[in-house]
Amino acid sequence: DTGVSQDPRHKITKRGQNVTFRCDPISEHNRLYWYRQTLGQGPEFLTYFQNEAQLEKSRLLSDRFSAERPKGSFSTLEIQRTEQGDSAMYLCASSLDVEGEKLFFGSGTQLSVL
């Protein structure tokens, strides 16, 4: 399977703990996006990378959130000192810059903060 893969699929954590999610994009895709989705809402943009460069961060991304994409391959999204409001589905997507409108999504990581 050469689609976008995300790990883990589910994460349950206690408030105040740190969590890290991983995304492996489609290998030839140079763009990588992180979105967050809550119940009844559409995906909300968090940040995106062109190769290893982080090009934009949403104001939704507080100082507790950090994303990296070392060497322009896989990406990690870390949330420090989790809060109950962080509970959501975190979606990763990748694309080629020449067809940047076609995002290929992974199945997401469902985070529950207790």
Partner 1 sequence: DQQVKQNSPSLSVQEGRISILNCDYTNSMFDYFLWYKKYPAEGPTFLISISSIKDKNEDGRFTVFLNKSAKHLSLHIVPSQPGDSAVYFCAARNRDDKIIFGKGTRLHILP
Closest CA to 35 of 13, 55, 51, 58: 58
- Interface with partner 1, residue 18, by CB under 8 A: no
Number of residues in contact with partner 1 under rule CB under 8 A: 25
Min dist CB 2 to partner 1, Å, is: 15
- Interface with partner 1, residue 49, by CB under 8 A: no
d(Cα 46, Cα 102) in Å, to the nearest integer? 17
d(Cα 54, Cα 61) in Å, to the nearest integer? 13
Q: Helix (H, G, I), strand (E, B), or coil: what is residue 80?
A: coil
Strand pairing report for 19-24 and 5-7: antiparallel
d(Cα 33, Cα 62) in Å, to the nearest integer? 17
End-to-end CA distance of the chain: 33
- Interface with partner 1, residue 74, by CB under 8 A: no
Judged by CB under 8 A, which stretch of 12-20, 69-77, 80-88, 91-99 contacts partner 1?
91-99
Min dist CB 45 to partner 1, Å, is: 6
- Interface with partner 1, residue 78, by CB under 8 A: no
Judged by CB under 8 A, which stretch of 13-21, 28-36, 60-68, 80-88 contacts partner 1?
28-36
By CB under 8 A, name the binding residues for partner 1.
4, 31, 33, 35, 40-45, 48, 55-56, 91, 93, 97, 100-108
